[in-house]
Chain A
Amino acid sequence: DIQMTQSPSSVSASVGDRVTITCRASQDISTWLAWYQQKPGTAPKLLIYAASSLQSGVPSRYSGSGSGTDFTLTISSLQPEDFATYYCQQANSLPLTFGGGTKVEIK
Chain B
Amino acid sequence: EVQLVQSGAEVKKPGESLKISCKGSGYSFTNYWIGWVRQMPGKGLEWMGIIYPGDSDTRYSPSFQGQVTISADKSISTAYLQWSSLKASDTAMYYCARRSATTEWFDPWGQGTLVTVSS
Chain A residues near B (Cβ < 8 Å): 1, 32, 34, 36, 38, 42-46, 49-50, 55, 87, 89, 91-92, 94-101
- 13 CB < 8 A contacts A-B: A32-B103, A43-B97, A44-B109, A45-B109, A50-B103, A87-B45, A89-B45, A94-B50, A94-B104, A95-B47, A96-B61, A97-B47, A98-B47
Bound-state CA distance A100–B37 (Å) is 14
CB distance from A107 to the nearest CB of B (A): 22
Q: A43-B111, A95-B61, A95-B63 are in contact. Are A89 and B105 (CB under 8 A)?
A: yes
11 further contact pairs, Cβ within 8 A, besides A44-B97, A50-B103: A32-B104, A44-B45, A44-B109, A49-B100, A87-B44, A89-B105, A92-B104, A94-B50, A95-B62, A96-B47, A100-B44
B interface SS class? strand
Bound-state CA distance A87–B95 (Å) is 15
Bound-state CA distance A92–B111 (Å) is 26
Bound-state CA distance A38–B45 (Å) is 10
CB distance from A41 to the nearest CB of B (A): 9
Chain B residues near A (Cβ < 8 Å): 35, 37, 44-47, 50, 59, 61-63, 95, 97, 100, 103-112
CB distance from B7 to the nearest CB of A (A): 14
Beta-carbon contact of B45 and A98 below 8 Å: yes
Bound-state CA distance A36–B62 (Å) is 23
- Among candidates A34, A43, A95, A101, residue contacting B105 with C-beta atoms closer than 8 Å: A34
Beta-carbon contact of B59 and A43 below 8 Å: no
Bound-state CA distance A14–B100 (Å) is 34
Q: Using Cβ atoms and an 8 Å threshold, which residues of chain A touch B45? A: 36, 38, 44, 87, 89, 98, 101
Q: Using Cβ atoms and an 8 Å threshold, which residues of chain B touch A97? A: 47
Bound-state CA distance A49–B109 (Å) is 15
CB distance from A66 to the nearest CB of B (A): 15
Beta-carbon contact of B107 and A46 below 8 Å: yes
Bound-state CA distance A17–B32 (Å) is 38
